[in-house]
Copies of this chain bind each other. A is one copy, B any other.
Amino acid sequence: MTVTVTVTQRQTRVAWIEAAYRELARAGERGVAITALAARLGVTKGSFYWHFKDRTELLRALLDRWAHERTDEMLRMSLGSTGDTRERLRRIQALGREVAPIDRAMRLWAQHDKDAAEAVRQADRALLAHIAACLEELDFTPEESRLRALLMLRTWAGGYLVQGPPGDLGPDPDARMLEILLAR
């Protein structure tokens, strides 16, 4: 009955990954500290090094965890596709705000880690293709669509690095930014 054994082990291993994932979204990759996570889970490091070889193995598991979550989001984006293309883009924008903490953490992590950079790159490739497909429906050329998709993604991610100014930006700046990116 190795099956039961495996299930039980994976349960606790998943608990570690989930806790680490929350901490990653909250405090970044550097915040994923084994001792602190153990305290949060009510156990000690002894538990961790039973389920994982080392910290790197946990971090790789976090990359997988994130990649799968992103894939699910992409599927939800494709399935819940309204007829209105602008509405689809607005939903992508809203989804971006929703996943901002973990997205931010991943992109910052990718700045100094090759594997994280590759994960982000793969995810962005799919997201950019999806946005570009939306733009082609609005009669932009494929080349122009790819360029504007990149522009949108950089604008959203740039929000992590550039805060809004003190001056008044008017009502619903996000919606108006989207309109600017769709103007010819």
* Interface-side segment among A11-19, A34-42, A71-79, A166-174: A166-174
User: How long is the Cα–Cα vector from A110 to B162 in the complex, in angstroms?
Assistant: 10
A59 within 8 A of B: no
Residues of B contacting A180 with CB < 8 Å? 147-148, 151, 181, 183
- Residues B151 and A154 in contact, CB atoms below 8 Å apart: no
| Interface contact B154-A162, CB-CB below 8 Å | yes
Interface-located stretch among A46-54, A60-68, A82-90, A120-128 = A120-128
Question: Is the pair B154, A176 in contact by a Cβ cutoff of 8 Å?
Answer: no
Contact B146 A155 (CB under 8 A): no
- Of the candidates B125, B146, B158, the one whose C-beta lies within 8 Å of that of A156 is B158
Q: Which residues of A line the B interface, CB within 8 A?
A: 28, 30, 107-108, 110-112, 121, 124-125, 128-129, 143-144, 146-151, 153-170, 173, 176-177, 180-181, 183-184
Among all A-B residue pairs, the 8 with the closest Cβ atoms: A154-B158, A158-B158, A157-B161, A107-B161, A157-B158, A183-B183, A143-B170, A154-B162
A-B contact pairs, 29 of them (CB 8 A): A30-B112, A107-B162, A108-B108, A111-B161, A124-B162, A124-B165, A125-B165, A143-B168, A144-B170, A146-B167, A146-B168, A146-B169, A147-B169, A147-B177, A147-B180, A150-B164, A151-B155, A151-B181, A153-B158, A154-B154, A154-B155, A154-B156, A154-B162, A155-B155, A156-B158, A157-B162, A160-B161, A161-B161, A183-B183
